Amino acid sequence: MKIAVCVSHVPDTAAKINISGDGKGIDPSGVTYVVNPYDEFAIEEALKTKEKFGGETIAISLGPEANKETLRKALAMGIDNAVLLKDESYRDSLSVAKALASEIKLHNAELVFFGKQSVDYDNSVVGQLTAELLGYNCISVAVDFKLDGSKVICEREIEGGKEVIKTSLPAVITAQKGLNEPRYASLKGIMTAKKKVIEEKTVDAANNYIEIVSFKRPAPKQAGKIIGTDASAVPELVRLLREEAKVI
């Protein structure tokens, strides 16, 4: 079975994000880029599935040259092959999904893993969009994944619980934290990954439906009041919550 995993290269969640001088993007200076955290669960699930059922794994990333770092990390964890769809331009979710879908089709991957969202634009839709474009089934936000022949059984996180959801291959699964415990790349893995060639491809120009009008900072929160330094401040806190904020 051919298993694909789509990965993105994003600012570390610990990074402070500043808006660029022209107000049209973010200022990348001083920002460390990493594998999108949810994609690590996707990579791990692809590897586990291959270990159990055999097959071949391929990592696909769309973006600039720098995305090779993330592909290299996927290879070091144990993914067999990697493709970079090289693109420097801004792309909205649907435009990303269209490029990924045509690449996945080329590889005939029956099972495709994504992270449930990229922690940059947070639109959390590329997995579902790609599945629809391919005509694949899709389960998003999976915290448990089981494959039984061509049957797929997942648990997905919902408000106040989980739902068990069933479908069949071909399928796209988007990974939520909790799906598995991503492995660390071994030294051998890192060495092997260094030698591997990451295939580079060009993609069709973006046809975006989302136009970004402006980037803004959230309104600064005014520092509030420190009411006290021990339990004796509690009655005043409760009074403020009832009378000033009127929230309890």
Q: How many CB atoms lie within 10 A of CB 137?
A: 17
Closest of 167, 168, 169 to residue 110, by C-alpha: 169
Whichever of 9 and 50 has its CB closer to another protein, that residue is 9
**Nearest-angstrom CA–CA distance, 208 and 148:** 38
The minimum distance between CB 199 and another protein, in angstroms, equals 26
Whichever of 31 and 190 has its CB closer to another protein, that residue is 31
Return the DSSP state at 9. Answer: E
Whichever of 54 and 160 has its CB closer to another protein, that residue is 160
The minimum distance between CB 38 and another protein, in angstroms, equals 8
Q: Is 188 helix (H, G, I), strand (E, B) or coil?
A: helix
Whichever of 29 and 229 has its CB closer to another protein, that residue is 229
The minimum distance between CB 235 and another protein, in angstroms, equals 6
The minimum distance between CB 149 and another protein, in angstroms, equals 15
Q: What is the dihedral of CA 198, 7, 131, 121, to 10 degrees?
A: -130
Report the Cα 175 to chain-centroid distance in Å.
8
Whichever of 50 and 73 has its CB closer to another protein, that residue is 73
**Nearest-angstrom CA–CA distance, 157 and 82:** 30
The minimum distance between CB 114 and another protein, in angstroms, equals 12
In 48-69, which positions are buried (b, 16+ CB within 10 angstroms) versus exposed (e)? Answer: ebbeeeebebbbbbbbeeebbe
